[in-house]
Structure formats: structure tokens, C-alpha cells
Amino acid sequence: MTSHRRAGKPAPRLKNPVTPERLECLRAAAQPGPVLILTHANPDPDALASGAALAALLERLWNIPACLGYSGLVARAENKAMLNLLTPAWTPLEQLGDLAAYPATAMVDTQPGAGNANLFGETTARLPNIVIDHHLPLQKGVEAAAYRDIRAEAGATVSLVYQHWQAARLQPDLRLATAIVYGIQADTRGLTRGAWPLDQLAYFKLLNRVDRDLLAQVEHAALPREEFHAFNFGLQAAKVYGRAVIANLGLLHRPDFLAEMADMLIRLEQMRAALCLGQYAGVLYLSLRTVPGECDAGALIQKTVLLDGKAGGHGSVAGGQIHLQERDFNQLSAEVQQRFLEALDEKAAGEPLLA
């Protein structure tokens, strides 16, 4: 893993924008509890760590109970290991009973209306009381939250949550510290992708509190054979269009596999953007990666999805989804790919990656 902190050079000093007044606003938004904490569907390590860190802070600082609920799948081997070993309090939404019974709700690593948050805040007229996220653009309904901390100057949402811990002068226990470090590590690829100074500060501040045995079990989780079949199929399906590469994977065994495939394809030499897409449970999913300095993934994904699609991203990472609604997947995916290429002004004919 690559570090951004050079030997002999102190870590950058930043003013923490989370003031005592901001903490009091968070407390007021959460009272009296319990708080239902939600995140985007198919949560990744940053989402899992962010929710766990917020729940632990509410409990430690104000004795406000919280419940963590997610929708979709936690299927990637590393994510499953993280869920089981580092953040086991997360519970599938269908096991939580009546969601309307919770006096307050919070959303982390997503926002109401973001498209990847098909949860409580979008299935009822009620909006969350608390929103903490690092994605743009801002979504409608966010301004209604009593407490919101939405800043794109972070590579991981959990870095924002940890600033609240620092403002409260508290430190997480070893397991939670390990979850925070891995959340930052996963979202920024070891501080090499979209990392900001506050990510570096949080990472290095907690590095000496990591349970290295648990971290190793998460990082090196065993992979099922279907993963290798999926990668083989993805490479066979990939086509190169000038300096862009597209892989249409068709039916997906899990939607978050697209991100793994896109992470691999963007490393192809001379590429500036990689798009992976496929369908799962009636939804067309997209995962987009760009080379830093070449083009902004968040802006590119907005041009790629159709009017009824939802998308978001930051820096070189973006994703989106479009509900098929009885539309033909092949036709819709062809339209999406064409919009992607037009946005990049790529006119080259597609050539198989593996000729």
C-alpha cells in the first residue's frame, strides 16, 4: 500500500470544521433515539465503516442508541469479511421490522434521491434527520435534514465521521479503528485515488490502533471460484474504443462486481476511462473509472445515464443505475454505451480487448 506521507515530513494540519456547536446540532437531530442508520444499497467498506462509526459515537457521547440497516447484498469477499469481523451490527432491512417506529433516521455515504439509496428515505414521504456524505451533486431533500455534513473534499465518508470523533475528543476501540482504516483504504485505494488531507490524517492517526490480524483476514479473504469465472467473462467481453474501454457483463452474479472489473480495466495502458455495466434484479448498473487529470468521473457518469437514471461520483470513481421497467436491456445498454463514447468524443470502432 502506498503512503502519501513522506519520511521526515509531518502530517498536514487541518482545522476541524466540526465544532462543539455542530456536535450539539448532531445530538439534537438524533434525540431521543434510537436512530436508524441507513446507507446505499450493496454497501461497500466505506459505507459499513461510516455507519458503524456514527452509531458508536452517538452511543459513547450521548448514550443515544442506534440501529444499522442495509439493503441489497454484501457479497464481495472482502466486504463480507469486514461485515462479519469488523462491523457485525449491520442488519438487513427486512429483519428490522417497522422502520417507521424509529424516531430519527440517518444516511451515510449516500443521500436521499441519489438513486443508490432505495431505502427508507425514498420509499416514504419521510426524509432523514441526519445526512453525512462525500458525494456530489447534492440531492433534493438534503436541505430538509436537521444535520448534514456533505463535503466532496474527502476520499471517504468515514473520514468525515471520524472528524466528529476528534471533535468529541474520543477514540474508537481497536475493531472500529480497524474498520475506519479499511474503509478509507478501500475507497481511496490506499490513499492513491481521490484521497484528501483529512483522509490522510484520519488514516495515520488510527493506524497504530489497528488490529492487524483482523485487517489481514479482511484484506486476504478467500475468493470463490465464481469470481474467477466472472473476471474471465469480463475480460472476454471488454472492447477498446480508442482510449476508452467498455465491458458489458450482461446478467451479474452480484452488482458490486462491476466496480472490481472497472478497477482492473482502467489500468489498461493508454486508457482514460473504463465503463462496466450489467443487469441485476431488473436494474442496469454502471461502474465508471477515469484516469486522474484526464476527466472527472462524476461529470462523465451524469452524461452517460439517461434522464431517468441515477448517478453520482467523485474524482476518478463513479457509478449509476437505471431501472429497466420492462425495457430491453440490450437496447438500453447500447444507448448508454453510445452516450459514454459521445461524452468522451471517442469515434474509434470497438476492438476486443482479448483478440
pLDDT of residue 293: 84
- The strand pairing partners of 312, in sequence order, are 319
Q: What does the pLDDT read at residue 312?
A: 80
pLDDT tens, position by position, 61-118: 999 999 999 998 999 999 999 999 999 999 999 899 888 889 999 999 998 877 666 5
How many C-alpha atoms does 146 have within 13 Å on its Cβ side? 15
Q: Alpha carbon of 39 to those of 52, 280, 307, 350: distances in Å?
A: 11, 19, 24, 37
- Residue spans in the chain of domains classed CATH 3.90.1640.10: 20-219
pLDDT of the residue at 76:
92
Q: What phi and psi values does residue 319 have, to the nearest 5 degrees?
A: -155, 165
Give the residue among 161, 15, 178 at the shortest CA–CA distance from 82: 178
- Whether domain 20-219 has CATH 3.40.50.720: no
Those residues of the chain that have pLDDT short of 70 are 1-12, 115-125, 137
CATH 3.10.310.40 residue spans of the chain? 225-352
Q: For domain 225-352, give the fold.
A: Diaminopimelate Epimerase; Chain A, domain 1 (3.10.310)
- Residue 118's pLDDT is 55
Instruction: Write out the three cell numbers for 330.
Output: 440490450
What confidence score (pLDDT) does residue 119 get? Answer: 55
Nearest to 35 by CA among 68, 2, 8: 68
What is the distance between the alpha carbons of residues 12 and 33, in angstroms, rounded to a whole number? 36
Contact 110, 130 (CB under 8 A): no
Distance CA 91, CA 83 (A): 10
